[in-house]
Structure 1
Amino acid sequence: MTQPLNTGKIVFLGAGSAAFGLSMYKDMFTCGELAGSTVVLVDTNAEALERMTALARRMNAVSGAGITIEHTTDRRAALPGADFVVNAVAIDRNRLWRLDFEVPKKHGVRHTLGENGGPGGLFFTLRTLPLIFDIARDIHELCPNALFINLSNPESRVVLALSRYSPIRSMGMCHGIFLARWFICQILGMAEKDVDCWGAGLNHFQWLLHIRDRATGRDLYPLLREREKDHDPAFTPLTRKLFRSFGLWPTCSDDHTGEYLPYGWEGGEHGFNFEQDARDRAGLMGHMDRVIREEIPVPEDWLQPSWGDRAIHVITGILQNSKRFVESGVVCNRGTIPNLPADLAVEVPVIADAAGVHPVSLGPLPDACARLLTVQAGVQQMAVEAAVHGSKEMALQALLLDPVINSTDAAVHILDELWEINRPYIRPCI
């Protein structure tokens, strides 16, 4: 006899995001384990929310997932009774992110994306954490047993701050390990579905401790080392330099990993392509509108599981007590990687079941790899303190700790300029 499915309530904050929303929908409406559950979509942008709600209802109907879809612009109205709160919120994302990249460059700081490391990572933290703590206080009041699953950057700093200063349960999810697998498979000449990657480290800077053939368990590192020697030298050059120097492949890409390194610009310092992103989003939303109006069918690949963030895997693992293995989650370390600080937010494999989310320890990192991450650990810890206390003095200290900063004068000029730009969002969190 088939066991009935357990049901739950999922609140999705920032559901108006086309990219995060579609990725979530692919998993939500194809997993087959959420029938009878309620999903509440929340966004302050009413137009974007209406579009994504209509798309959710269309995909729900076509897939036969049997999920109840609700929506609201009022976060507090959505939260009571929630079992899971998924967050994809960002503040004025592209405008402020562009400034996070351009202002440091103007003052002579060479960096890559300006998002999770360097000055950009600091200001992402300063403006984002006050909002995150507002959400956390609402969760603690209205649904204290809910698991907060964060999808927004800066992942490591959000989870670190909440683990230090909030009583709610939280974790982060990222698709970085799968992006690293894509790069590896281009060199190996293998399909991604045939390769397993096991990594541990920081968000956007894990070290892959195992790369194996999924069917046989064969160690693929010897083959990767051999084929990498003759591969196109222009292909992900910074990652490959680190691979040759440290002996393990780092995630997840030159631009993301490069944010944490003083020489990260060697992998390219062009920044994020905001113009292409705007074109892609406009195209995606136009496609969504045609699907919603039933002018075209729901694309077949929208009715297949996503390759990215595994939030729905965690949720169904907990709801159905299925002991679901998830390749990567951002969690508080507490000894999972024994040679990194215990209170750091690390990215490791996790298992989800009715008892919660359980980090999987792969043991200590090789000493040199751990030491490289430890440099960034101090930066992230100081940035969190600056944001939590709304302190410009601490923010300067965080900048001067960061290996991307090459001048004290530049640090002061960057701080003054970006602080004024972000002033409306910076305030003490506790």
Structure 2
Amino acid sequence: DLYPRLRAMADDPEKRKHENVRLEIMKYFNYFCTESSHHDAEYLPYFLRTPALAERYGIAPRDVPDAPRHQRTWMSDGAGEQGATPGAELRRSGEYTSGIIEAVVTDQPYRFYANLMNTGGLISNLPADACVEVLTMVDSTGLHPTYHGDLPPHLAALCRSNISVHELAVQAVLNRDREAAYHACLVDPNAAATLSLDQIKAMFDELWS
């Protein structure tokens, strides 16, 4: 049981500042979320409603130009200067891809958290056509997801608030349905917490045009 240690972390200001959102979710919902604080804040309506709240929880705006900068640095580090041997030893990152490939090729099982369709009710109180992230084993015979049963009702409600957005967004793309895209914006938890209905409509019209 790691919850005593997590609750102790929540009382430590120095440790808390790096996990402020996740620890706040645990405080009020009684479960620790494994998603990062930055992503949690994007999915839920509680943390980005005002600039003051975002600052309080340490959620800085994303710097989009950072992505290509990081990519160039990674490529440079991997190739060495002008094609020379890289100075740093190459190690497996925290990403899953190489572990999955190795498991399929060698039949040595690899355990990771996979995003899979909820077919068969892996999480039984979420829709079957939703994508869920569950503990999964992979080997040469394929993927073997873990059945989890029901989430606590209040956590399932948080998930469904985003699943509804996804369903409308998929409908919008598949059917080229502008109205469904608009409705996806209307029911998005962060948009609804931050903007009025007429502001969401104005934002959508500007983005669509």
TM-score (norm 1): 0.42
Work out whether 1:407 is the aligned partner of 2:196. yes
Contact preservation (8 Å) 2:80, 2:87: no
1:9-88 paired onto structure 2 within 5 Å: none
**CA–CA distance in structure 2, aligned partners of residues 398 and 298 of structure 1:** 48
- Asked whether 1:306 is paired with 2:93, we answer yes
Task: Give the Cα separation in 2 of the matches to 1:231 and 1:268.
Answer: 12
1:202-213 matches, within 5 Å, as none
Deviations 1:62-89 (A, max 9, x none): xxxxxxxxxxxxxxxxxxxxxxxxxxxx
Amino acid at match of 2:63: N
Q: Which amino acid aligns with 1:250?
A: C
Helix, strand or coil: the match of 2:4?
A: helix
Assess if the C-alpha contact under 8 Å between 1:254 and 1:264 holds in 2. Answer: no
Taking a change above 3 Å as real, the CA distance of residues 385 and 237 of structure 1, as seen in their structure-2 partners, is: same
Structure 1 residue 417: Cα displacement: 1.8
Query: Kindly tell me: are residues 227 and 322 of structure 1, through their superposed partners in 2, closer, same or farther at Cα, counting changes over 3 Å?
Result: same
Distance in structure 2 (CA, Å) of the matches to 1:365 and 1:391: 32
Change (3 A) 1:291 1:399: same
Structure 2 counterpart of 1:220: 2
- Answer whether contact 1:383 1:398 (CA < 8 A) is retained: yes
Q: Is the 8 A contact 2:92 2:98 kept in 1?
A: no
Question: Considering only aligned residues, what root-mean-square deviation do their CA atoms show, in Å?
Answer: 2.2
Looking at structure 1, the residues matched to 178 and 188 of structure 2 have their Cα atoms a distance apart, in angstroms, of 15
What is the Cα deviation at residue 278 of structure 1? 4.4
C-alpha contact 1:379 1:401 (8 A) present in aligned 2: yes
Runs of 4+ in 1 over 6 A off after TM superposition: none
1:288 is displaced (CA, Å) by 3.9
Structure 2 residue identity aligned to 1:299: A
Of 102, 105, 113 in structure 2, the residue corresponding to residue 319 of structure 1 is 105
Which structure is higher in strand share? 1
Matched residue of 1:257: which SS? helix
2:83 aligns to what? Answer: 293
Distance apart, 1:346 and its partner CA: 0.4
Question: What is the match of residue 333 of structure 1?
Answer: 118
Question: C-alpha displacement at 1:383, in angstroms?
Answer: 1.0
Query: Aligned letter for 2:70?
Result: D
How many residue pairs get aligned? The number is 197
SS at 1:325's partner residue?
strand
Could you tell me which of 174, 180, 205 is aligned with 1:416?
A: 205
Taking the aligned partners of 1:387 and 1:415, their CA distance within structure 2 comes to 15
Shift of 1:260: 1.3
Residue 357 (structure 1) shift: 0.9
Cα offset for 1:242?
Answer: 0.4
1:272 aligned counterpart, secondary structure: coil
Q: CA deviation at 1:298?
A: 4.5
Alignment of 1:251 onto 2:34: yes
Q: Distance in 1 between matches of 2:102 and 2:154?
A: 37
Match of residue 230, structure 1, among 12, 27, 50 = 12
Answer whether contact 2:79 2:86 (CA < 8 A) is retained. Answer: no
How many Å apart are 1:396 and its aligned residue? 0.7
1:354-377 C-alpha deviation (Å, 9 max, x unpaired): 332121123322221111111111
How big is the shift at 1:277?
3.9
Deviation at 1:293, TM superposition (A): 1.7
CA contact (8 A) 1:291 1:298 kept: no
Aligned equivalent of 1:89: none
d(CA) in 2 for partners of 1:329 and 1:361?
12
Q: 1:356 to 1:391 in 2, by over 3 A?
A: same
Q: 1:287 to 1:322 in 2, by over 3 A?
A: closer
Contact 2:115 2:134 in 1 (8 A): yes
The CA distance in 2 between the partners of 1:323 and 1:276, in whole Å, is 36
Q: Does the C-alpha gap of structure 1 residues 411 and 285 become closer, same or farther in structure 2, counting only changes over 3 Å?
A: same
Partner of 1:261: 44
Give, as a single letter, the amino acid of the residue that structure 1 aligns with 2:5.
Answer: L
